[in-house]
Amino acid sequence: MPAGEGHALSVKVVLLPFAGGHSYSYRPLVEALPAGLRALTPELPGRGMRMSAPRLTNLPDMADDLVRELAPDLDGPWLLFGHSMGGLTALLLARRLRALGLRPPEHLVVSGVEGPSIYGGKKQRHQLPREEFRQEIRELGGSPPEILDDDEFFQFFEPILRGDFQALETFVYQPAPPLDLHISVLLGQDDDVSPERAQAWQVETSRPLEMRVWPGNHFFIFSQAPALGRFLAEKVGIQTKPDFRAG
């Protein structure tokens, strides 16, 4: 039964990290989630609370790790969200859950990433010299200036970022039967991911694909955090109050 004004239903929303992300990277979105949604922010190896674990440098291994980490918590209705690298990892995770007969998400929401079947041909940023690599990260946005501008901080985070970009830039798509799952694709209007390339997500679901373009760049998910929180809630039937801010 969908949750109404009283938010009787508590739905978990799993937020999969983007490149370089960790369990606290989604804090602005987590803080903006409406009542009735409870965030799960899994930690990939080699960062955050799992800093001592060996880093992973390919998406299939990341998906396998996420299955082990998340499976005990997927005992009720839940929503799956992934931004950029997290969107591709979300597809692999959903496929693995299907293969294992585990409970699928009620809805899959991905943002800032083109369809996996046409993903590829990306420049090999993970092999760039340090300063060129740092500039690429700066142009993408989403990384705090205090990390990019501080040599000691950047030296600490650089291996994590390089490993994630290696996972993205060596990703090889494997066709599989479409998921019986609602998928929504969100794009920033100033991002370089086009609606035409994002439309390729349709091959991953047997249901009609939903696509929306939001104000902002690649990391619009933070500038639009309150609206995104309401969007996620509505995907699982949680009623939210409209935002009447002037502007």
Query: What does DSSP assign to residue 114?
Result: -
3-state secondary structure of 126: helix
Instruction: Let me know if 84 is a catalytic residue.
Output: yes
Q: Which runs of consecutive H residues, i.e. helices, occur in 101-175?
A: 130-140, 145-148, 151-169
Cβ(25)–Cβ(82) under 8 Å?
no
DSSP 24: T
Task: Provide the phi-psi class of 51: left if phi over 0, else alpha when psi is between -120 and 50, else beta.
Answer: alpha
Identified catalytic residue from 23, 84, 111, 184:
84
Task: Report in angstroms the alpha-carbon separations of 2 from 85, 125, 162.
Answer: 30, 44, 42
Using CA atoms, how far apart are residues 203 and 189, in angstroms rounded to an integer? 23
- Catalytically active residues are 84
